[in-house]
Amino acid sequence: MTAVLLDTCAAIWLGEGARMAPAAMQAIEAAATGDGVLVSPVTGWEIGLLSRGRAGRPGLVFLPDPPGWLADLMALPGLREAPLDMRIATAASLLPGELHNDPADRLIIATARVLGVPVVTRDAALLAYGRAGFVGVVGC
């Protein structure tokens, strides 16, 4: 199978060993033995933000710390870092159709579109964007 790109939520679930939909696990396993399971640098940025928390909400715990957790994630078989370059950054600002302005989601979608790979996600907005035909998605 071609590569797949993990949305941050999918990367967290994979890293934590959480249950995912069978179709998502099949896509991840096939990509791991094929072209690879891609993780965007944007996921690293989001993991750092999630660990800090927000007003009134504690941060998520990534052990031993966010950089160490990310290193452990990236050491899983078949995982590799997705590119993030000017072409992807520009594409994120020019996405077709209707989509919110969350920069992380836009960069992840643009990465998937530029690379021609589906996004593994449970994010309702990304799944709807995929159903509209703008990006391939695999629900997890």
What DSSP state is assigned to residue 4? E
Q: Residue 107: which residues within 8 A CB-CB, separation 6 or more? A: 40, 42, 84, 88, 89, 92
Half-sphere exposure of 27 (CA within 13 A, CB side): 23
Topology of domain 4-139 in CATH is Rossmann fold (3.40.50)
Cβ(62)–Cβ(48) below 8 Å: no
How many angstroms separate the CA atoms of 67 and 114, rounded? 27
Beta bridge partners of 138: 120
Helix, strand and coil content of the chain, in percent to the nearest 5, comes to 50, 10, 40
Q: What is the pLDDT of residues 5-38, one digit of tens each?
A: 999 999 999 999 999 999 999 999 999 999 999 9
Convert the pLDDT of each residue in 29-79 to its tens digit.
999 999 999 999 999 999 999 999 888 889 999 999 999 999 999 999 999
Contact between 18 and 131 under an 8 Å Cβ cutoff? The reply is no
